[in-house]
Structure 1
Amino acid sequence: MGVCVLLGSKSDLEKAQGAFEIFRQFDVDFDVHIASAHRTPEMVKNIVQNSKHDAFLVFAGLSAALPGAVAALTTKPVIGVPLSGRVPFDSLLSMVQMPKGVPVAVVGVDNVINGALMCIQILAIKDERLERKILEYRERMREKVAKDDEEVRRYVQS
């Protein structure tokens, strides 16, 4: 089990780091490839068809064709992470408007953390260890909010 990560270009690597950190934190196997739906379609096909992983996390900007190309080649879940650029919402609009029958789940622009967590939640359907880790992760978030609330109230009241 794991996640196959595809980046549309090397410039996406910096933004993708947050997802890699989440996968490492949850001890989820992943691999990373750079491929282009337009410039290297055969490479995309080869990566998708030979992937041993159970989900795809696909980063793309501009026309954001890569997640749809991946989805067309597999029945496994594809989560798209639209990346901001000169026109910040072009990739988001491209991803959420996939043709009927070839769905891509899409998270917010540059929201690599939610993309990674969505992959982990999908894997957790069949992995109780991951489910427990997600619950622990959420508990730590709740604890942080409660601590922050206490600190802010104390600060304002003093």
Structure 2
Amino acid sequence: MMKNINATNKGLLTGIIMIALSLIFYYTGQPFESPLQYVIYIVYAAGIVWTIFDYSKSGKNSNKFGDFFLQAFKCFIVVALLMVVFTFVFNKLHPEFRDEMAKAYGDELIKKGNSTPAEVQANIDKMKQYYLTMLISSAIFGYLLTGAAISAVASLFFIKKK
């Protein structure tokens, strides 16, 4: 049954597992700095490698880097999209993350001592205004870059030498 799953659906399955793990880690009180967060990236890499591995065993395998990468791309682009949507929705439902980040940012500005209280407040307000945009931009860039790197390395690994 698992052999008939295309690259896009592998991305969908991988993304759902990553979201489920993120929610499990959050609701079990794991800190964001926890090494368990790396499990999510391991699942991401495993989904991409699974996609390329299955393609390498298929009759459609052309043994060309571009074709391997294309299969991986179909997987990781779906994962990236799911994770960006999840990041947006999760942070909209939990505005306390933005507020905690703003407080930490304000404390850092006060500690540096280079700004007046009015400047500190203006910077905090601006940070709050752009918080979600910066978070989403980071998620897009991070997942696409990581996905492309894993895809390139895995594609090179699975090309059969003649």
- TM (norm. structure 2) is 0.29
Structure with greater Cα Rg: 2
- TM (norm. structure 1) is 0.30
> Going by fraction, where is strand more abundant, 1 or 2?
1
